[in-house]
Structure 1
Amino acid sequence: MEKVVVLTKRDAWCQKAGQLAQIVFGEGLCWVQGTLGDRFPGQSLRPKPDYLISFLSPWIVPKQVLEAAKMAINFHPASCDYPGIGCYNFCLYEGAPYYGATCHHMVEKVDRGKIVEERRFRVLENETVETLKFRTMVVMLSLYHDILIDIAAGKPLPEASASWSRRPFTRAQLDELCSISPDMADEEIARRVRATVYPGRPGPTINIGGTEFRYDVPNREPLA
C-alpha cells in the first residue's frame, strides 16, 4: 500500500481535497491539516512516505522532510507565470489573458521545482480577485484529482515542458500593490483596486496628509 501524506489548510476547498485523498488512498493516507502560523507538524507525519502532497498547505515544508519522501509535489493556485504570493492579484493587475493552476515538484525554495502539469484558462473581461480564485480552485481540484488517480494507479507523473517564468512574488510586493497614492493616474488606481479588492479582507489603502483611508470592500463570505 502506498504511504501518502497530504498537507492542507482548514478551509472548504482543502476539506474536499483531503476527503478526495481519503477516497483514493484509504488507509495508506496520512492527512494533516493546519492554519497559517501553526508550527510544522513534523511528529504527525509518516516517516519516509512514498508521496508527500501539498494542497494549499499553510507550511513551507523543511528540506529534510522533502528529502525523506520518495516524491514531493505541490498544487499551486496559479499558472507558472505567477509563482509566490499574491498570484491572483498580480494576474489582474498585469491584465494577463490567461491564468491557471500548476502541479510541481517541491524543492527547498518555494515555487522553484520542476513543473508536473499546468492547466490554463482564459481570464474573463469582468474578472475579479474573488471570481478568479473561485475558478482557479475548480481547475486546481480537477488537476489534483487526476494526479491522485494516476499516483494510485502507479502511473509515472507527467513532465510538463513549461517552467517558472520569473522569481516568486513577495509579501512586500503585494503590500506595495495594495497602496494607492493621490498622484497616481486614474487608470493605475483602477487597476490596483481591481487587483486587490476581495470580500471580507482589508482593501487597498490611500494615505492623504498622514491619514490612511481604506477602500470599502464587500463585507460577506467570498465564493472561494
Structure 2
Amino acid sequence: MAGESSDITLYHAVPTRSCRVLFLLEELGLPYKLVKKEFKPFGLRDDVEYCASIHPRGSLPGFKDGETVIIESIAILQYLIEQYDPEHKMSPPLSDKPARAAYLNWLTFAEASYASSVVFPVMHMFVLPEEARNPTAAASFKKSAEENLKILDKALEGKPKGIVNNEFSAADIALYQTTYLAAEFLKMITPETYPNVAAWYAETAKRPAAVKAYEA
C-alpha cells in the first residue's frame, strides 16, 4: 500500500534485492512510503544523502521503520515478520519445528548460497561496462548457479505453491528474487531444465504482490 502514511520507508529499484522487501510489504498489506531509485551497476555511491543516512555503500534495499534502519534484505524480511506478522501468515510458527527449520534453511540459502552464483554472472554478462566484466569468473559462477538450481529443483518437487510444505512464505519471496534474475537475464529456468523450479516460479509470478514488486 504505497503512498499511505507510514513510518516504513523503502528505497527501491527493480531488479535489486529491494524487490524482496516490497513483495513482503504487499503480502502483509502494510502501509509504506516507496522511494524509487535508479538502478546503477555500482549502486548509488554518488547519492551523498542516501549513503550518509541509509546505506554507506549506496546499495539497495534501504529500509527505515521510524528511526530503525536496516540494509540487508533477509534481515528486513525477518524484521517485518517479527514485528508485523503475529499470525504467521508468511512464516511457520515457532511451535512447528520441522517447518520452521525448513523455512529458516531456505530463507538463508536464498542469499548465502544461491544469490552470488546468479548475481555475479548477471553483473558480468549484462550490467557492468565491458571493461569491468570478467567472463571467466562469470562462467564459473554460472556453473555454481546450475548446482544450486538442481538443489532447489529437487526441494520443490510437488510443491509449486511454496517450498515449505507447499505453502507460500517469505522463504519463497527470498528465493524468487534470485530466480527472477536467473530466469529473466540468464534464461536458465525452463520446464526442460528445472521443471519444478519453473512450475513454482510461474505460480509465484502470478501473485499480485509479485507483480507489484517487480513492476514498480
Greater helix content: 2
Q: TM-score, normalised by structure 1?
A: 0.27
Q: TM-score, normalised by structure 2?
A: 0.28
Larger Rg: 1
